């Protein structure tokens, strides 16, 4: 089989078969196919798209290119949740313990943040002692015992996807729906859960800029999941304004704890309840509204927070940081931001807030860059809140030499209006079958 023949077929809009897709995915993983040929094929896919069969085959072979988890010993109530990336998105820290408290098994491998979006692994690593690199046996035993285990990916997790992802970034082929969908779903398939919930975000702080584009991406991923034997569902959610009041790492952990204790931002709580209810509904085939009531119940009785503490302790994390017996390390410095005028906050640009948090030290631009877990942003006022000129609306925290630039960025994220802006529903739509 020749790579030039595969490139020519895709160039001429002819469907590739599974053997051809398996050939180039294997070559991407082991380095036997040169970058220039892989790049040529990626461009042909970008220009001509992929059929449903091609996308499924590509996803499956990328998943099989490295380590694959077998969760069958944990039963058929295993569930994974994936977010397409956002600002202030600490939902996994909330919805996963809720789902576990309801009887689901959340055995989840998560990634680190890059650019303006945060990573779940980074947030957990801000908890002193928490191990995000563990053996498969430890991962499975923790998930079996507590119904919840969240850790990082192994080094040999979907290596073909890692190779193609890096090439897409330098060949202007990132914005291909089949390539995005197969990249995301290959990791979900390799992670082994029977049920998959996708949180597909849209807006200025998300990769997909509008709801229609997010729906298209969600539809592609649902088809892949269902074709590969996974119960797959998606929520289309708004990312035009940051999620909650905290953006960073340890500050987001603290906000997640507040929500699990029945406090915190109403809009973020609503999304976490919706995500957890859908995770439970996928596993137990129950009514969503009933699932939401049960989700609120395990928050109110403390069961969900207990699940988080148990799973954190099991992986070496200091639970005193969650219960408040001990404080997270404080940032080196902070700068407050004040309202420019009287009125209402009519917009908070998520992308700008994410960049400001990164500038303060809470994010990274390259995969090997170290982050400051204490850095971040607190939004004292958010979208729709009434403010008076000179009132404190936000605080940026981090290294003293970094926070001045971060504060200037953060200040520019806020817009004001003389009248209260309309409410923005956080959940736009649920999609299950295409």
CATH classification of the domain holding 42: 1.20.970.10
Q: Is residue 57 part of a domain?
A: no
Angle between helices 177-191 and 211-227 (to 10 degrees): 50
Q: Is residue 64 part of a domain?
A: no
β-sheet bridge partners, residue 198: 82, 234
**313 and 226, same structural domain?**
yes
Those residues with Cβ within 8 angstroms of residue 237's Cβ, 6 or more apart along the chain or in another chain: 199, 200, 201, 202, 271, 426, 427, 428
**201 and 109, same structural domain?**
yes
Taking the CA atoms of the chain, what radius of gyration do you get in angstroms?
Answer: 22
**295 and 274, same structural domain?**
yes
Q: What's the CA gap between 120 and 151, in Å, rounded?
A: 9
What CATH number is given to the structural domain containing 311? 3.40.1030.10
Active centre residues (catalytic): 82, 161, 168, 183, 187
Residue 112 confidence (pLDDT): 65
Q: What's the CA gap between 112 and 122, in Å, rounded?
A: 6
**319 and 341, same structural domain?**
no
Nearest to 94 by CA among 254, 334, 291, 212: 254
User: What predicted TM-score, i.e. pTM, was given to this entire model?
Assistant: 0.94
**125 and 273, same structural domain?**
yes
Q: Is residue 62 part of a domain?
A: no
**129 and 238, same structural domain?**
yes
Count of domains in the chain? 3
Q: Report whether 259 contacts 269 (CB < 8 A).
A: yes
Domain range holding 293? 72-154+176-323
Q: What is the spatial order of strands in the sheet that 195-202 belongs to?
A: 79-83, 195-202, 231-238, 427-431
Q: What's the CA gap between 142 and 140, in Å, rounded?
A: 6
Q: What's the CA gap between 350 and 424, in Å, rounded?
A: 14
Q: Is residue 102 part of a domain?
A: yes
**218 and 100, same structural domain?**
yes
Task: Compute the residue count for the chain.
Answer: 434
**15 and 103, same structural domain?**
no
Q: Report whether 113 contacts 252 (CB < 8 A).
A: no
81 SS3 class: strand
Query: How far out from the chain centre does Cα 125 lie?
Result: 16
Buried b (16+ CB within 10 A) or exposed e, 294-327: bbbebbeeebbbbbbbbbbebbebbbebbeeeee
Count of CB atoms situated within 10 Å of the CB of 112:
18
Q: What's the CA gap between 157 and 162, in Å, rounded?
A: 9
**348 and 275, same structural domain?**
no
Task: Locate the DSSP E strands across 15-119.
Answer: 79-83, 106-110
**227 and 133, same structural domain?**
yes
N-term to C-term CA, the chain: 34
**213 and 87, same structural domain?**
yes
Q: pLDDT 10s digit of each residue in the chain, 434 long? A: 899 999 999 999 999 999 999 999 999 999 999 999 999 999 999 999 999 999 999 999 999 999 999 999 999 999 999 998 889 999 999 999 999 999 999 999 887 655 556 688 899 999 999 998 999 999 999 999 999 999 988 778 899 999 998 899 889 998 899 999 999 999 999 999 999 999 999 998 888 999 999 999 999 999 999 999 999 999 999 999 999 999 999 999 999 999 999 998 999 999 999 999 999 999 999 999 999 999 999 999 999 999 999 999 999 999 999 999 999 999 999 999 999 999 999 999 999 999 999 999 988 766 667 889 999 999 999 999 999 999 999 999 999 999 999 999 999 999 999 999 999 999 999 998 76
């Amino acid at each position: 089989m020749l790579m030039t023949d595969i490139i020519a077929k895709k160039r001429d809009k002819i469907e590739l078969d599974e053997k051809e897709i398996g050939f180039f995915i294997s070559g991407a993983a082991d380095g036997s196919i040169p970058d220039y040929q892989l790049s040529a094929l990626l461009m042909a896919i970008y220009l001509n798209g992929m059929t449903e069969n091609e996308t499924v085959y590509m996803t499956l072979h990328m998943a099989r290119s490295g380590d694959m988890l077998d969760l069958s010993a944990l039963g058929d109530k295993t569930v994974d949740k994936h977010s397409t990336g956002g600002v202030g998105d600490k939902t996994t820290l909330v919805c996963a313990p809720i789902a576990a408290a309801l009887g689901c098994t959340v055995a989840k491998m998560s990634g680190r943040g890059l650019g303006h979006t945060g990573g779940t692994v980074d947030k957990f690593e801000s908890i002193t002692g928490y191990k995000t690199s563990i053996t498969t046996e430890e991962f499975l035993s923790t998930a079996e015992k507590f119904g919840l285990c969240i850790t990082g990916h192994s080094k040999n997790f979907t290596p073909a996807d890692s190779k193609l992802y890096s090439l897409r970034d330098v060949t202007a082929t990132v914005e291909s729906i089949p390539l995005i969908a197969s990249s995301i779903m290959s990791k979900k398939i390799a992670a082994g859960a029977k049920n998959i919930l996708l949180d597909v975000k849209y807006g200025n702080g998300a990769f997909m800029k509008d709801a229609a584009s997010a729906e298209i991406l969600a539809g592609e991923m649902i088809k892949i999941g269902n074709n590969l034997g996974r119960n797959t569902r998606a929520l289309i959610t708004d990312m035009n304004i940051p999620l909650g009041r905290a953006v960073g790492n340890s500050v987001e952990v603290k906000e997640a704890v507040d929500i699990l204790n029945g406090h915190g931002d109403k809009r973020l709580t609503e999304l976490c309840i919706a995500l957890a209810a859908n995770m439970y509904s996928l596993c137990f085939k129950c009514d969503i509204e009933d699932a939401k009531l049960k989700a609120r119940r395990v928050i109110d009785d403390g069961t969900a927070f207990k699940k988080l503490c148990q799973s954190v302790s099991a992986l070496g994390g200091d639970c005193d940081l969650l219960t408040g017996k001990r404080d997270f390390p404080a940032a080196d410095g902070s700068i407050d931001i004040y309202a420019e005028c009287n009125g209402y906050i009519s917009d908070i640009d998520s992308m700008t807030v994410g960049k400001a948090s990164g500038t303060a030290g809470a994010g990274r631009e390259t995969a090997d860059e170290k982050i400051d877990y204490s850095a971040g942003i607190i939004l004292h006022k958010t979208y729709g809140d009434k403010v008076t000129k000179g009132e404190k609306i936000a605080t940026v925290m981090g290294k003293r030499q970094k926070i001045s630039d971060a504060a200037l960025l953060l200040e520019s994220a806020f817009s004001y209006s003389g009248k209260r802006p309309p409410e923005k529903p956080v959940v736009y739509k649920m999609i299950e079958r295409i």
